[in-house]
Structure 1
Amino acid sequence: MRSAADPRLGGRAAWCAWGIGVTVYVLAVVHRTSLGVAGLDAAARFGIGASALSTFSILQVLVYAGMQIPVGLLVDRLGPRRVLCTGLVLLTLGQLGFAFSTSFTPALVSRAVLGCGDAMTFVSVLRLGARWFPARRNPFIAQLTGLVGTLGNLVSTMVLSQVLHSAGWTATFATTGLLGLAVLALVLLFLRDTPDSAARETLFGREPVTAPAHLAGGDRPSLRAQISAAWEQPGTRLGLWVHFTTAFPASAFLLLWGMPFLMDGQGLSRGLAGSLLSLIIVSNMGFALLVGQLVSRRPGVRVPLVLIVVLGTGALWGVVLCWPGTHVPMWLLLVLTAAMGSNGPASLVGLDFARTVNPPERLGTASGIVNMGGFIATVLALFGIGLVLDLLTPGGGADYTPHAFRLAFCTLYLPMALGLSQILRLRPKAARREAELRALRAAA
């Protein structure tokens, strides 16, 4: 294991490696959120209602969530470079398939392929950060990764939404898909897994200068043992529920239902609705810097910070949903969307709970377990909102009413309540385990 004093950690080469990895992640976020600004266009193109429209995002997110543990295992065993390359190929194929689809089923399959590729990016970038930077900087690097990844959201809300209506469906999605080939070349030519990697690597093999002991074939635990070891840590389970509870309100809003809610439910223009979605992303960047610095310096604030974000988001949604009259005032929408910018940074705090109780050789597996949480909750929210809208507006997207949207968004409180109960249950166990590990390290 490399020393934290290793001069290669955190230097220029480290930032270059992380920069290449996070470029892949930004592109994945562009692909992931592109449907969020094309929801109404997709409903018209494929002739579908709210439940079927939700299926696109639900399947994509389900595939993403289901792939997290396998991807974590792959990253731990093969290294992030190979996994990122595979992810880029799948992202490109999925987005190109979506661009040329003219019916529901091929488009649905394309989104599933895209979700599989998307799943391979974030955990890989986290592993790059863990290998290229000192451990004390990992919480900040994780937040910075999330912050830069939000640029993909900005591209979707500020660029794709405009290009879609000028260039058309096929040209817009095909162009974004082909960007993956350029990024793939960047990864193949310049990315290395660790500072110890040989100067030149190929996709099919590498010759590390010093191979970590845990990578030696005979020393590897079984896949089941590795997953079990990560899951047995209460910090891993707490991290999953933190991610579950904090991430999904903003994710469901940005992935699909934010634009319809603001346009059909609140009567805003497409441009103004897009600006409010962009505010979530800009706010996310500010919160990411704040949370990253705070958690790095004062780990004890993690759970209180998470509770403040969850309860604050829930309270603001309660005010919006109970506001008298047909539409809520613009100042309240501004406050709500700005506050939802805290959801993503708070969800990444869950990764820190897992990092502190898992050794480096299973960090990818533990991160994959945690990263499932928010996407499972997002699936529940997407499905719940779409189901209620369909029950209340059988005519489809053209008939959505403000009242229907208010009732549909009440479903956000179900996963929120479940997640809060689990956080409060696991918090004491995780705190005791962290204290035990600190004592063991001090004694050693």
Structure 2
Amino acid sequence: MNSFKLQKKPARIYYLAWIAISLFYFYQYILRVSPGVMVVELRQTFKLTAEEFSSLGAIYLYAYSLLQIPLGFILDRMGIRRVIILSILTCLAGTCFFAFAKNIWMLQAGRFLIGIGSAPAFICALKLVSDYLPEKDRGLLMGATLSIGTIGALLSGNLLVTVLENSGWQNSLLFCVVLGGIILAIVLMLVPASSARTTVGDFPLVHLREGLRVIFKQKEILIYAIIAIGVYTPLCVLADLWGTAFLMEKFSLERAQAAQTSLYMYGGLTIGSLLVPWYSAKWGNFRETIQVCAIGLICSILALLYLKGIAIWQLTILLTLIGIFCGAEMVCFTGAAHYTASAYSGLALGVVNTLNMLGGALVQQLIGWYLDFQWKGRYGADGARLYGPEELTAAFSLLLILIAVCCFLTVMLPKREKTRKPLASPSRG
């Protein structure tokens, strides 16, 4: 007897549940990009070096990524509702901890908690779509999930800067706590308790090892996971962390304008995460789609870093294009799911997201280290280290190498994805 039985409920209940989880994903993006908006205040208040400031983004991603594989297993056993509720509560606790931090260690601890709490948002939405909603809608809804999150990042620029400049960086974080409480109430109302796919006894621990063994033997899943790192890192480096500082230095923008302009990458991702996976799924040309997006990323980042005299409207177009091309990240998730059986859907998506986010964290740390390595010894009036546009440009050039390597890996993928090749289902006694 198949122990994986769906709870029979009207489809509209799961669409509403998807909306509620997507709102949480929207919310965690606001928390995710907040250090980039508050870069001036945080570096002034705590006298942070580039590597220390980068650690605030990297620690978030380390916590986020390392939880993904056990999270897939936990989801397959516990269900979505309980995981999401605990996740929101953890985000709220981490945000409060960050707001009242007295030193760098407390800042890092708060970001670690936020990373843990944010980790289930995306994977829960993908699992709900993969397990409970019609197959014809899955590609669109997976892309729409990412789009909803990126709208949160896009809107957070002006919102956080407005609250920050009027009330201070700590009060802007407390505002986020209130917003998180509202999201929690919506989740409690809309996500059904029956969205678990298995019971605890249905999925013994031995299947976690078995599932990982089968997934890591599937070459295509690992290739898609590694490629996702290359098309994701421009966002986590520029939009999440260093974009505001870079635009202020290189293009002499005011902080509010720089923060909002850098987040146009998320505006582009909102478009790209819908159109790019839809196009690739419709024609089955995952490899070619990723290649085009990787080449587009390389050209756009080259222009951003090395062209001079760029007008603000041209800068906006460049950043939007970078976001659109980063939509290839969703093609990587879709491609990996193509080789995954439903019994391992949560676990396989967790593996892909783990490698994706862990790679992003490592790149953030590398760029922070490289900035400190080539630092010219200049300090600002507040005592914080100053990094000029030349140092920032050189550090961000590392992104070009990573994207080029990932683009090269696409030659190992099949030219067309037409027939689904599911992994073997776990054995059951």
SS at match of 1:384: helix
- C-alpha deviation, 1:44, in angstroms: 0.8
1:400 to 1:134, Cα distance in 2 relative to 1, 3 A:
same
Q: What is residue 421 of structure 1 aligned with on the other side?
A: 408
| Equivalent residue in structure 2 for 1:407, among 374, 378, 394 | 394
Tell me, in whole angstroms, the C-alpha distance in 2 between the residues paired with 1:408 and 1:242. Answer: 21
Range that drifts further, 279-288 or 27-36: 279-288
Q: CA RMSD in A?
A: 2.7
Tell me, in whole angstroms, the C-alpha distance in 1 between the residues paired with 2:121 and 2:420. Answer: 33
| Equivalent residue in structure 2 for 1:257, among 242, 259, 270 | 242
Q: Does 1:303 align with 2:290?
A: no
Tell me, in whole angstroms, the C-alpha distance in 1 between the residues paired with 2:231 and 2:170. Answer: 34
Q: Map 1:25-424; keep pairs closer than 5 Å.
A: 25-192=25-192, 216-217=201-202, 221-298=206-283, 300-323=284-307, 328-393=310-375, 394-395=377-378, 399-424=386-411
Tell me, in whole angstroms, the C-alpha distance in 2 between the residues paired with 1:264 and 1:26. Answer: 29
- C-alpha deviation, 1:190, in angstroms: 3.0
In structure 1, give the amino acid aligned to 2:333. Answer: L
In structure 2, give the amino acid aligned to 1:133. Answer: L
Tell me, in whole angstroms, the C-alpha distance in 2 between the residues paired with 1:48 and 1:387. Answer: 13
In structure 1, give the amino acid aligned to 2:221. Answer: T
Tell me, in whole angstroms, the C-alpha distance in 1 between the residues paired with 2:259 and 2:179. Answer: 23
Tell me, in whole angstroms, the C-alpha distance in 1 between the residues paired with 2:13 and 2:286. Answer: 30
Tell me, yes or no, if the aligned pair for 2:13 and 2:190 is still in contact at 8 Å: no
Tell me, yes or no, if the aligned pair for 2:98 and 2:110 is still in contact at 8 Å: yes
- C-alpha deviation, 1:215, in angstroms: 6.7
Give deviations 1:155-178, integer Å, cap 9, x for gaps. 321201221111112211122123
Tell me, yes or no, if the aligned pair for 1:236 and 1:353 is still in contact at 8 Å: yes
Tell me, in whole angstroms, the C-alpha distance in 2 between the residues paired with 1:420 and 1:223. Answer: 31
SS at match of 1:341: helix
| TM-score computed with the length of structure 1 as normaliser | 0.86
Range that drifts further, 328-337 or 32-41: 328-337
Tell me, in whole angstroms, the C-alpha distance in 1 between the residues paired with 2:125 and 2:242. Answer: 28
In structure 2, give the amino acid aligned to 1:225. Answer: E
In structure 1, give the amino acid aligned to 2:296. Answer: G
Tell me, in whole angstroms, the C-alpha distance in 2 between the residues paired with 1:354 and 1:193. Answer: 28
SS at match of 1:342: helix
Tell me, in whole angstroms, the C-alpha distance in 1 between the residues paired with 2:200 and 2:164. Answer: 46
- C-alpha deviation, 1:258, in angstroms: 0.2
Give deviations 1:207-251, integer Å, cap 9, x for gaps. x8xx76x87537775321122222222232122023112111122
Tell me, in whole angstroms, the C-alpha distance in 1 between the residues paired with 2:9 and 2:419. Answer: 30
1:360 to 1:215, Cα distance in 2 relative to 1, 3 A:
farther
SS at match of 1:400: coil
1:50 to 1:436, Cα distance in 2 relative to 1, 3 A:
closer
Q: What is residue 427 of structure 2 aligned with on the other side?
A: none
- C-alpha deviation, 1:122, in angstroms: 0.8
SS at match of 2:339: coil
Tell me, yes or no, if the aligned pair for 1:239 and 1:352 is still in contact at 8 Å: no
- C-alpha deviation, 1:69, in angstroms: 0.6
Tell me, yes or no, if the aligned pair for 1:33 and 1:254 is still in contact at 8 Å: yes
In structure 2, give the amino acid aligned to 1:57. Answer: G
Tell me, in whole angstroms, the C-alpha distance in 2 between the residues paired with 1:296 and 1:311. Answer: 20
- C-alpha deviation, 1:254, in angstroms: 1.1
Tell me, yes or no, if the aligned pair for 1:377 and 1:415 is still in contact at 8 Å: no
Structure 2: which 5+ residue stretches go unaligned?
A: 425-429
Tell me, yes or no, if the aligned pair for 2:77 and 2:203 is still in contact at 8 Å: no
Give deviations 1:120-148, integer Å, cap 9, x for gaps. 11101111112331123211111000011
- C-alpha deviation, 1:314, in angstroms: 0.9
- C-alpha deviation, 1:329, in angstroms: 4.2
SS at match of 2:340: coil
1:372 to 1:330, Cα distance in 2 relative to 1, 3 A:
same
Tell me, yes or no, if the aligned pair for 1:258 and 1:277 is still in contact at 8 Å: yes
Q: What is residue 437 of structure 1 aligned with on the other side?
A: 421
- C-alpha deviation, 1:100, in angstroms: 0.6
Tell me, in whole angstroms, the C-alpha distance in 1 between the residues paired with 2:310 and 2:359. Answer: 26
SS at match of 2:67: helix
Tell me, yes or no, if the aligned pair for 1:8 and 1:132 is still in contact at 8 Å: no
Tell me, yes or no, if the aligned pair for 2:287 and 2:416 is still in contact at 8 Å: no
Q: What is residue 203 of structure 1 aligned with on the other side?
A: none
- C-alpha deviation, 1:280, in angstroms: 1.8
SS at match of 1:399: coil
SS at match of 1:14: helix
Range that drifts further, 155-164 or 89-98: 155-164
SS at match of 2:48: coil
1:218 to 1:281, Cα distance in 2 relative to 1, 3 A:
closer
Tell me, in whole angstroms, the C-alpha distance in 1 between the residues paired with 2:298 and 2:354. Answer: 21
| TM-score computed with the length of structure 2 as normaliser | 0.88
Report the number of matched residues: 415
Tell me, yes or no, if the aligned pair for 1:139 and 1:295 is still in contact at 8 Å: no
- C-alpha deviation, 1:431, in angstroms: 6.2
Tell me, in whole angstroms, the C-alpha distance in 2 between the residues paired with 1:431 and 1:72. Answer: 28
SS at match of 1:121: helix
SS at match of 1:358: coil
Tell me, in whole angstroms, the C-alpha distance in 2 between the residues paired with 1:222 and 1:133. Answer: 25
Range that drifts further, 126-135 or 389-398: 389-398
1:215 to 1:342, Cα distance in 2 relative to 1, 3 A:
farther
